[in-house]
Structure formats: C-alpha cells, structure tokens
Structure 1
Amino acid sequence: MATAAVDSFDYVIVGAGAAGSVLANRLTEDGTTTVCVLEAGPPDRNPYIHIPAGFIKTLFDPACTWQFKTEPTERTGGRPISTTQGRTLGGSSSVNGMVYNRGQPDDFNSWAQRGNRGWGYADVLPYFRRTERRIGVADDSVRGRSGGIPVTDMDWIHPVSEAFIQGCVNAGIPRNPDYNSGSQAGVGYFQRAILKGRRVSAARGFLKPAMARRNLEVRTNARACGIVFEGRRAVGVRYLASRGGAPREVRARREVILSGGTANTARLLQVSGVGPAALLGRLGVPVVHELPGVGENFRDHYAVRLVMRAKPGVTTMNELSRGPRLGLQIARWATGRPSILALAPSQVHVFWRSDDAPGAPDLQCVFTPGSYKEGAVYVLDEYPGVTAGAWPHRPESKGHVRARSTDVFEDPVIQPNYLSDPMDRQVTLGGIRLVRRLLNTPELAPYLERETLPGPDVRADDELLDYAYRNGSTCYHLIGTARMGPASDPTAVVDDQLRVHGMEGLRVVDASVMPSMPSANTYATTLMIAEKASDMIRGRPAEEPAVLRADAA
C-alpha cells in the first residue's frame, strides 16, 4: 500500500473499530478519495482474536485492549468494574461476544421523535441490511445477504440449552426464529459474527478488503492526542506513537471523523478544547467551543447473573474446557466441526417483560450451559453448572466520561452510575425473578441440582438488590457521550448528520452518538450508523426507507 507523498488526506478517521472500519471501506470505494485511519492499538495479529473463545484471553490483554475501569459506587458494592474496550484493528469487534442483535423498531423511532431526521426504523433498516451477510433462513426484505459481516446461526447445541428453551416455551414465552426480523419477543439461539469457526470482526469484514486500495493508509499504534483546529474548523489530528514521544500530525482537507468509541471520543474532544467549559478549565485546556453535552449522557447495560449447579454426570462447558475433553474440542474446531471454541459467550436469548404489563420486552436475558466462579470474570467453575442473566433493555441511569488530564495515556473517569435510577432497579428485580423461574422449570429439573448464586435463601427485594450491587457487571455496551440531537437540545453534541454542533469539518461516527440505548447489544447498531454516515459524508442520497410489515411499523 503506497504512502501519500504529502501527509494530508481528504479524510482522517480516528479509530479502526466497527465504525472506522466501515467508513474506511466506503469512503475509499471510488478510488480517488484519500483516507488515513489512525488506530491506537496494534494490527490484529494476535491469534486469540480470530478464535471465538479466545476473547477470554484478549479481554485481559492490555496489548490489544483499553483496560478501562468504572468509578466505584455504593450500587456496585464499592467495586470498580472493568469495562474493557478493543484497541486493535477491528476495535471491540475483535474482542467482543460476536452477538448480532439489532434491537426493536421503536428504539430508532424514538431517535427520530427526538428531532433526528432520517433515523426512524424504516430509515435505518436499509443500512442494517447493507452491513450484514445473513447466512441461513431469513426474510430478505428485512435481512441483508451481501454485506461485510456474516451472521450465522448457532451450530453447537447442548441438551441443557434445548431444555431451557423448551421450559421457556411451556412457560408462555414463544420460540422466535429470528429476533432481528423487527419482532424481538421470544426465546431462541443467538445469531453471531462467526463463520467456519472463526470470528469475523469489522476489520476482517470491511477494513482488510479496503487496505489493498492505494487511497487508504492505516496507521497502527497511533494514539490520537488532539484535534487540530483553525478557528472552529477541524483540519487535522495530532497523535503519539509512544508515551513521551514527539507528536505527529496528519491533515484532513475535508473532514476529521471521530470513531474512537464512547470513552475515547469524549476524551479526545475534551482534551482538544470541545466540551464543558468548567471541565476544560480544570484540565487547563483553552476552550475552542463550549459544548456541555460532551462526555455526559453516558449509559451502559448492567447485567446480573444467576448460577445453578448441574447434577453429577451432566457435562457442561466447564468440563469440556479442561483436560482431554478440551483437546477433543480443539480437534473438532481444527477440522471445521462444531466446538466450544467457536461459540459466542451466551448461547440462548430471552427477550421478555420484567412484569405482567403488556408491551414490548424491557429485558434481555441470556443462558449458557456453563458457569463462572463467583467474583471472577470468565473463569469457569470446577463443577458442572449453568448461568443465566438479565439486564434492563433501556437503562435510565446516566453517567459521564471525563478526561483526568491532557495525557491520553491516562484512563478517563468513567462513571456510569449503574442502577441509580429507580426504574432500572425495578426492572432488574423483575429480571432476576424471571430468570430464577426459567431456571426452575420442569424441563430443566433432570439436569440441574441447586442454585449456587445468589442462593435460594436470597429472596427479598433488598437482598436481591444487594446481590445485584455486589455481583452485577457491565455488558461493555457504552453509548451516549456525543449524543445526537438538534441544536435546541442542550445535551446534544452532534446533529442528525453527525456533525459536531458549532464546528466545521468535524463529525462523530460511533456508539457515542446514540441518543438512547437500543434494546440490544450495540455492535449491530454501530455498524448501521457507520453505513448511514458514509452516505452522508459522500453527499449521496439516503437509502429509500423500507416498506415495513405491520408488526414492525
């Protein structure tokens, strides 16, 4: 790949994660537009990135992740919580759980109702379709067949998972053959970005094919440390190859596009002089443009999981991951057969209500025929067990992300204020009680012995909430710190074209622009946002809005 003679490009993209990978591909399609992508991490050569089960290794590897932690609070039992994000080509799509989940139509209709023109469900559905290559049975009016990310069905089926699903069905929760169809409620197996036993990250699906083009340059180990402004126009980005090194600069003739993720985008804006004036003053950063919403409106999913011990003789993932049985699983994976090495961390979904009121699901529940040790992250128990968890779809608890200093090698303050909103506590309680019922169906009785976490004696609301505070954790679904909204909204950072309010030549394209949390994992929505943004940036007409079925309107 040729290096540009002059260190200047049409577009400079900060971040080679899900959004940055899509943008790099789309903006260089015409062969004439030049693009430089700055990625803070290394190339995605770590072999664990490409083995789906390898996320257990990469999640704790600072060589390819941002090892962020939240601030401790009373409602996390005084614990800081690790909220790791990807720092390599592909970003978090190289280390995440690979689940493909779009959410509900009304998630996006609510975005449009907030004054964001062109972001209703009918508007964004064509862009969801454009990102994916659905492999399997699907309604082609809703699902895509030719996008960069293959979306496949689970091929490793465990009898305990089947029993869990049948128990849900008999309890009145219907089996849903495609929760991404626009109708989400029900139970079934997750769809995931895994093909032939390998993770397909956004880097593999979008960025790598584009890197053969002469008009794209990708610079790794390039940590953005400041946006270069002329007045209020963004004209470039400064970056560091190492701590204490001399800053380098790359210029953008048309636009600077921030795709660093919810934490990093907010921090980069702040250390560059765009954000709340009081914060910038504490940082000693001259104010380029005061935008009070930068870093605010942060949200994340906070999950609470229950564990049950399986009966003697029942083989779960705990046993399959050790000794000779693990060797057999590795051999199966190497020969292209279904294996625990090619799984998403959660196998079964339940989208349902936390109470008996009518309406769309307000909970996501997950089930896995394996269990993790108390107080440990992704460390399997020594005994056979299963895990099920739940979290509120649309958390109301809001927090913030704030730079601690102008040193971008110092992690920002991440304060999610988990469960601070009483509605989140109410929905979480309903989720715990629903999961407990679903783990105690007659269909699971032949397999499961007893509840180990939190234990059958923990029953009262205050006891369950105390357990949630001490044992809940992030879903790594960080959004909202550069919220999309009209200029009349004092909390908004970007408009409905994703342009930063009050600035020129500066856009944000990543999960930070989401005005509210989708009722889903955030990866699929981030891909969609980038696809839609690529048309905006290129000045192309938006895709024609989809004609919706009655149940998805």
Structure 2
Amino acid sequence: MRFLRNDVVAAVLLLAPFSLAAPTEYSKKLPQFATIINRRQLNANNATYDFIIAGGGIAGLTLADRLTEDPNVKVLVIEAGPIDPGLEGIQVPGSFSPWYYFWPNLLTVPQTALNNRVIGTVSGQVLGGGSAINAMVYVRGDADDYDAWGFMQRRGNSSFYGNSSVSSSMSWNTMLPYFLKSENFTAPDAAYALEANITWNPAVRGTSGPLKYTYPPYYFPGAANWWNAAQSVGLPPVDDPLSGVKNGIFPIPSVLDADTMTRNYAKINHHDRVKQARPNYHVLAGNIVGKVLFDPSCKKAIGVEYLPTSGGAATNVFASKEVILAAGGINTPKILQLSGIGPKKLLDKFGIKVVSNLPGVGQNLQDQPTLTVPYTFTNNLTPNSGSLMANATYNAEQRALYDTERKGAYTIISSLSTNIGQLSLKQATSDYQAIIAAARAANPADSLPADVDATVLAGYQVQREAILNQFEGDVGVGNLHWGTSDNALVYHLKPLSRGTVEIVTTDPLVNPAIDHRTATDPIDFAVYTALFRKNRELFAAPDMQVLGPAEGAPFAAATTNEEIIEVMRDQINPSNAHQCCTAAMLPKSLGGVVNSEQKVYGVSRLRVADISFWPMQTAGSPLGTMYAAGERLADMIKAEYGLA
C-alpha cells in the first residue's frame, strides 16, 4: 500500500552502563494517573515496574493498555520520540506531513542490486510509532499468510511451543478473534457506500474495540475511471478486503475516527482512551533503551538501561516480571545485539559478552519495496488529488468543508486516492509458471549473504517454500494504486530477497547498518516487472485512455524486460516503512529468535512484541496485524501471570 515512505509499527530504544543494584518497591510518590513521566521523577523514586516495554508504537501501547487493566500491575513504556501535541499534519489526513517524526538519519548501506544507491528508510520516532505517521490504511494480510506462519512453525521441533492457554499455533482462525477484538468499525452512509463501491461483511468487522476506522466520505472523480479500467484488465471487485481474501480492487479502509474525521492511532486508542483511570500506566518519552539488563547468574532479564534520545547519562530501571521489546524491525534487533543476544561473531567484534548466541537476530529483514511511476495527462478529471496543491481556491473550499462538516478531500490522506488493487502472481502475468519454475530451480543460499548461519538458511528455505506455494495460489504479491494525479504506485508485497540489521558500534545512539539487499534475488525483478506491466495494461484500458495518460521519464522509453529492470534499479525504494521479521518467531533450528509465546531463546523474562517477531511479510500493511498481535500477546501474558 502507499504509505508515503511510512507505516511502521514502533520506534524506541537503547542505552549504556550496567549496575545490578537491587530494585526498590514501586513508589506511591509517582503520578496518580497514567502519565507522561520524566527522568527526574523516575530516578528520584527508584521505581520498579512489573513490566517494562521498550517502544511506544502499536505493539507497546496495546500491551501497556491491556496489562494495566489489572490495577495491581505496574507498566512503564519507554519511548524514544516525543509526544505529538496534535499537529495538523498528523491528525488531519489532507494535511499529511509525516516527516515531523521520522527517525533521524536512517540510511541503508549501498544497495548492490539498485546501482549501489544509499537510500533513506522511514521509522516513526513518536509516541504511537508508525501508527502516527503512516497513510492510515487499515487492511489485514491474506488468510494464507497467517496459515503460512503456522506452516513454518510446525517445521521445527516441539520445543518451539510454550505452555500458554492461548493458542500458540498461528493461523487465520487464531488471529481473526483478535482482529475483531482490536477494532471498532463505523459503517459509511448506505447511499454513499453504494455510490463508492464500498461493501463489507459484518461477520469479519469488529465494532467494539479501541481502534476506530471507517471510509473517507469522498472520492475524486478519476477514481471511477481507474476502478472501471482495473475491472477491464481482470481485477474484480472484492466483497470485503478484511475477509482474508482480497485479490482484486477495493476501496481502502482508513483509520479515521468517524466522528472527528481525524487519525485514530495508538497513542489515542491505547493510551489517551484509558489514561484517567490508570495510575499504574506510565510513559517515559524522549528516552531510548540501550540494552536489557540480566541477572548474570541465571540470564534472567531484570530491567533496562536507558538514556535521553538527545544524549546524556544512562540510567537503569527494573522490572519484576518481564522486559518486552517493542521497538520495531530495525531497533529491536539493535537492542538485542547491544544486550548480548545475537550472532556470536558480531558480538565478539564489538567486545559484547554473549548472553545468548542467536544467529537469527538482525537477519531475515524484509520490507515491501515501492515504485513510483510518473504520468502526464492531457484530459485528466478535476478535482483530483493534485488539486489541493495546484488550486488554492479548491484547497480553501475543501478545507472549509472539512472544518465545518468533516467532509471532502481533506478526509483522504494527501496525494492518495480511495481505491487500490491487489494481484496474485497469476493475475499479474500469464508467465507466472515460468517465474515459479525459475525460483524453484535457484539455490536458496544465493539469496542470502555468503556467510549466513546454517540455521538462518534452513529457516529461509522453509519461508521460500511457503512463498512459492503462495505464488502458485491466490495470495497477493503486489498492489497497484493511482492517486488520480501525476503518478501511479506499484508495491511488491512478497520479495524473496532478505536483508540484515547489524550494530556498527556499542553506542546506543548510533543507528545500525541497514541492508535491505533489495532485489538481490533476481526473481524479485521478475515479479516486479510483471506488476509494472500490469499497471501499464491498466493505464492502456479505455477508461483510463480517455484521460490521455502518458508515462513519464525514465519509464516511457523502457520496453523490454531488461530495459524495465535497468530503470527500476534507479527507481525502486527498498522500504515502504514496513521493516519486519528481524527477530523471527521460528524454531531455533530455523534461525528463530523467539518461540510461540514470543519469548527470546536462551534467556528468561524477555519477549519481543513488535513486527520483528513476524517470520514473513503479509500481503498488506502491518497496522491491522500488529494491533491484533498485541491483543493476542497480552492475553498470553495475562494467562501466564494470572492477571485480571
């Protein structure tokens, strides 16, 4: 999906020294309500919490909310970023300005398959994480994605499974109840829904959870042309994109509060919603977790070391039950590595004492690369998504309509339209069998770094098998979207390439080396070329041709597959801010980092809650899955500790 270089699910982290002074009891001098506390308050009271959560994104705040439902449980969330005061660029879709809270200086290493470009990647650094800066798209993965996670789990030994009373075998059926629990859907006006092709199945829509979502009550007229053109090239309307099957075209559900038509994100739905009733729920913003502290006698997590994100002295805070990492696909593996959990070879390089030798930490990096295709039009319909920028009169009219009636173009994320298409490989190209055959004939080891650990390779082989099965079936491999103005967007949902995240220093304030290794597996280019050609086919359909589209440079001159690939090497963005899978929930023998209860191997009282635990990308944006996964993990933890 188009997340304008955003949507991620977290932000937070990392620190320094290491004192094992005995933790003191929780002090009643701390604030009486769920509060944003400061370092002075925390240090002065020498507080101990039951749970410390590193990262205040979707996963971290969902857990904090649910765990503090028990009044006897004390939770501290440490968030690297600030607290948004209600900036218009975050709250108002039509004023979308996510860069306020981009994690600073996140750059890749040179991408060898993309002409050695060094490219910025986006992660949220703000309370709410990626949910505060994404494009507000609410979709789930395909049902087979979650079934595939279960398929991969079953390929390992029985030690992978924990003892939770909550089902630890992942599948669509075990995830669906948590999707329903997490969400609060408001149906659009019936007449508008009919006009805008919005359909849904009430059985798969939750209506009483914290996360509010609906559909923008407006669409640009050109969206109808795109919709009809997409149907003419074989993309059928989808009855409900949240049903686990969404290949075709559908209006995009948006995390809009139907009453205010503003963004509903994790800070609002899992902190602000409950803060007046939760004296046991504290947030420390503007601080980064540097590492987890362990009792050296038993490798039990006892707390974390943290310091100001702007730099300064490190301090310790202690947890009597667990430390939970929810810092995102880039920063969670960084914290683990700085804490002595990761590949021994990497830890030895920086003189870090090995607490648990887990080669999979920081491996298996995945994202959903994006391609922006420019267009000019001789007869485009107006208004369109570009009119807000190009026409001051229209902009003023739409802003006034939004301010007075909560209607119009300002209810849509700036530069986007309201329809999107998802394609299986079969829908994208008639050559799908040849692509699959080439992928099956390739050596999986060629898709990973040359020095990859044998367990990580074994896990990748299982993933690859699952993905190629999806290629043969009906799971989405890509998205097409037109914002109704001057570009189209093509997303690759199921790349076979795998990247890495590795520390470059023991300084917790320094970003790790991020190597997406985008398109290092040549099959990714084959799939991307098929999606690109499908987009061309759509724009060549009569309903789009009446608008007079012309593909812009540098794509227009590319006709052969080889020429298209050469252009893509210069144009692909490796990241849609969906960095995942770097602390995978897989058996240890398959390069896994956490077990079925998301507990880190080789230590105790330490879990990973964020998108890092995913073993493999889903066909969709991460937001919905992370809310549901947070709910599921909260139930597991509550069951283990007998919490209310």
TM-score normalised according to structure 1 size:
0.90
Q: Secondary structure of 1:188's partner?
A: strand
Deviations 1:445-490 (A, max 9, x none): 222331114443211111111121111112111101100012332x
**What is the alpha-carbon distance in structure 2 between the residues aligned to residue 207 and residue 27 of structure 1?**
12
**1:128 matches 2:242:** no
Cα distance in 2 for partners of 1:530, 1:88 equals 18
The equivalent position to 2:334 in structure 1, one of 253, 267, 278, is 267
Kindly indicate whether residue 561 of structure 2 is the aligned counterpart of residue 461 of structure 1. yes
1:184 Cα deviation after fit:
1.0
Separation in 2 of the partners of 1:346 and 1:68? 28
User: C-alpha separation between the residues in 2 aligned to 1:215 and 1:12?
Assistant: 12
**Structure 2: distance between partners of 1:479 and 1:240:** 25
Q: What CA deviation, in whole Å up to 9, does each residue of 1:128-150 have, x standing for no partner?
A: 11111122263233221111111
Query: Pick from 241, 246, 264: which aligns with 1:184?
Result: 246
Task: Indicate the residue corresponding to 2:622 in structure 1.
Answer: 522
For the residues of structure 1 that align with 2:275 and 2:319, how far apart are their CA atoms? 19
Contact 1:295 1:481 in 2 (8 A): yes
Q: Which has the higher helix share?
A: 2
Larger displacement relative to structure 2 (285-294 or 86-95): 285-294
How big is the shift at 1:538? 1.0
Match of 1:355 among 404, 407, 429: 429
- Select the residue among 481, 505, 511 that pairs with 1:367: 481
Indicate the residue corresponding to 1:551 in structure 2.
Answer: none
Q: Does 1:451 align with 2:551?
A: yes
State which drifts further: 169-178 or 85-94: 169-178
State whether residues 373 and 487 of structure 2, in contact with CA within 8 Å, keep that contact through their aligned partners in structure 1. Answer: yes
Contact preservation (8 Å) 1:305, 1:390? yes
Q: Is the 8 A contact 2:555 2:564 kept in 1?
A: no
Q: 1:419 aligns with which of 509, 519, 522?
A: 519
SS of the counterpart of 1:226? strand
| TM-score (norm: length of structure 2) | 0.78
- The 5-angstrom pairing of residues 130-169 of structure 1 reads 130-136=181-187, 138-169=200-231
User: What is the CA–CA distance in structure 1 between the aligned matches of 2:92 and 2:300, rounded to whole Å?
Assistant: 43
SS at match of 2:305: strand
Within 5 Å, which residues of 2 pair with 1:58-77? 58-59=98-99, 61=100, 65-77=103-115
Query: Which residue of structure 2 aligns with residue 317 of structure 1?
Result: 385
CA contact (8 A) 1:66 1:86 kept: no
Answer yes or no: is the 8 Å Cα contact 2:53–2:323 preserved in 1: yes
Q: Secondary structure at the match of 1:424?
A: helix
Q: Is the 8 A contact 2:482 2:489 kept in 1?
A: no
The 1:486/1:118 distance shift into structure 2, 3 A limit, reads same
Does the aligned pair in 1 maintain the 2:292–2:305 contact within 8 Å? yes
CA distance in 2, matches of 1:131, 1:168: 32
Flag the 1:64–1:450 CA change in 2: closer, same or farther, 3 A.
closer
Structure-1 residue corresponding to 2:133: 95
Q: Higher strand share goes to which structure?
A: 1
CA–CA separation in structure 1 for the residues paired with 2:175 and 2:388: 41
Is 1:105 aligned with 2:173?
no
Change (3 A) 1:171 1:64: closer
58, 67, 79: which one pairs with 2:117?
A: 79
Distance 1:541 1:361, change over 3 A: farther
Aligned to 1:26: 66
Determine whether 1:49 maps to 2:90. Answer: yes
Measured after TM superposition, the shift of residue 65 of structure 1 is 3.3
Any conservation in 2 of the 1:103–1:518 contact (CA below 8 Å)?
yes
Matched with 1:548 is: none
Kindly tell me the number of residue pairs found equivalent between the two proteins.
524
* Partner in structure 1 of residue 504 of structure 2: 404
Contact 1:102 1:180 in 2 (8 A): yes
Alignment partner of 1:13 is 2:48:
no
Confirm whether residue 210 of structure 1 aligns to residue 274 of structure 2. Answer: yes
Higher relative contact order (CA 8 A, sep 6+): 2
* CA–CA separation in structure 1 for the residues paired with 2:95 and 2:359: 40
Match of 1:220 among 278, 285, 308: 285
Distance 2:284 2:317 in 1: 11
Name the counterpart of 2:631: 531
3-state secondary structure, aligned to 1:517: coil
| AA aligned opposite 1:338 | K
* Letter of the 1:307 counterpart: P
> Where do 5+ consecutive residues of structure 2 fail to align?
1-30, 33-40, 155-167, 188-198, 433-471
AA partner of residue 218 (structure 1): V
Deviations 1:240-290 (A, max 9, x none): 125441112111000000000010100011111111111112222121111
Rounded to whole Å, the distance in 2 between the matches of 1:469 and 1:79 is 9
CA, structure 1 residues 64+387, in 2 after alignment: closer, same or farther (shift >3 Å)?
A: closer
Asked if 1 retains the 8 angstrom alpha-carbon contact of 2:599 and 2:608, the reply is yes
CA pair 301-263 structure 1, distance change in 2 beyond 3 A: same
CA distance in 2, matches of 1:317, 1:362: 26
Q: What is the rounded CA distance, in whole Å, between the counterparts of 1:126 and 1:97 in structure 2? A: 25
Cα offset, 1:66, TM superposition:
4.1
Q: How does 1:269-348 map to 2 (within 5 A)?
A: 269-312=336-379, 314-315=381-382, 316-322=384-390, 323-344=392-413, 345=416, 347-348=418-419
Alpha-carbon separation, structure 1, partners of 2:48 and 2:641: 27
Shift of 1:46: 4.9
Q: What amino acid maps onto 2:395 in structure 1?
A: L
| Secondary structure of 1:30's aligned partner | coil
TM-aligned CA deviation for residue 534 of structure 1: 0.4
Contact 2:78 2:289 in 1 (8 A): yes
Residue identity opposite 1:50 in structure 2:
Q
- 3-state SS of 1:106 partner: helix
Q: What's the offset of the Cα at 1:346? A: 5.1
C-alpha separation in 1, matches of 2:408 and 2:117: 35
- Is residue 67–residue 84 contact of structure 1 (8 Å, CA) maintained in 2? no
- d(CA) in 1 for partners of 2:499 and 2:404? 46
